Amino acid sequence: MFQEYYTAVLTEVHSNERLKAVTNFQHLSDPILKERALKKWIFIEAVNAYLAKNGENRRGYVEFIYDALEQMKPLEVHRDLDCYKALISIFPKGMMIPQNVWQHAFSHYPKQQDCMVEILEQLEHFGVIPDTKVQDAIEEIFGTMNNPMRKYRRIYYMTRKFQNRNPYKLPYDLPVDPIQLAVLALRKMAVDLENELKVWKVSRDENSKEKLFIASAQSPLQREMIHTHPESKPIYVEGGYRVWLRDIPQTYFVMRTDTDPSIFVRPTEEEELENLFDFDTIFDSEKPKQLALKPNVHQQEEGTILGMCITETSCKDSLISWIRCLQEANPRLESIPIVFSLATPSKQALVLRSEGMQPSQQSTNSPDPS
């Protein structure tokens, strides 16, 4: 039902030059943002067209709202509060307010109340915070003591309470530029406060003029660990792993080395079996056996992280270009063997050697270049 009105408005926009000028959105420079603004405008116009055609009767408006809710995510308006307000405005005002105690007790107009609760459920699911105008609209439609008002108050209380608790909070409207998305993802994952983010533009090949971006995250502490890294031990580049910025995925790669055995002492299998039933309680006195270095934020039990990156193509050639860019601030990388162990269909590892920086393939089952 909603799709018919949306298609009619969309056809009118494409056929009418005056509407094209109205919906051109000259203040927006990015074509993707223009397209989103156009979809929002057509969505609201489709709701207004339904109201203009059906008048006060509004027969089948509950089914129209359910159909519109299903179409909101494909039309990319599911995070826009104005579109939800347009759907709420379809409900007739005043006629569904309970007038006596029996109507209060037996949920006056239950089908319409469930429809309003469904709007609020979807609004909450996509992280949209309702304002007081939504409360005023619900009060004009159903009164003050009903299921939609109870649902609104719970959403309003909880979302306002936790909206600023996320330490890695993303902007409400994510950017469309892939470079900005990559920087946001790296800033979210990098825990070192001294972390430095850099973006390089590299050519796809020698004859191509097209520039591809490489976003890298590395701190001075990580560069110092590379400087003291022994040349006999290889450094691994692994990935691609996936991180999500809401519903937008980003593929990132990690440069790491093996764990320092002097920091993380792991018991052998025989020692684990011997101490299987040797439990320490709170009443046992703690006696330190030896001094141990405290690991920094980059030294984990799985390995020591020396850098992260997000490339535009997520291919092996872009990672080799990333290593070459890192060599400007980390000249020691030229003499350290680097093993590329990537999640590729061929299950091959690339070993980057210092002689001419030519990669050679090697099986991932034996990644040691020596």
Q: What is the pTM (predicted TM-score) of this model?
A: 0.74
The mean predicted confidence, pLDDT, of the chain is: 82
Give yes or no for residue 351 having a pLDDT over 70. Answer: no
Per the model's pLDDT, the better-predicted residue between 351 and 67 turns out to be 67
Please say whether the beta carbons of 66 and 118 come within 8 A: yes
CB atoms within 10 A of CB 83: 22
Give yes or no for residue 105 having a pLDDT over 90. Answer: no
Q: Mean pLDDT throughout 144-170? A: 88
- pLDDT category at 310 given cuts 50, 70, 90 is very high
Q: What is the pLDDT of residue 366?
A: 36
Give yes or no for residue 70 having a pLDDT over 70. Answer: yes
Token reading at 195: 């972390």
Q: Mean pLDDT throughout 284-311? A: 78
- pLDDT category at 22 given cuts 50, 70, 90 is low
Give yes or no for residue 192 having a pLDDT over 60. Answer: yes
Give yes or no for residue 308 having a pLDDT over 80. Answer: yes
Q: Mean pLDDT throughout 121-142? A: 93
Q: What is the pLDDT of residue 295?
A: 80
Give yes or no for residue 346 having a pLDDT over 50. Answer: no
Q: What is the pLDDT of residue 81?
A: 94
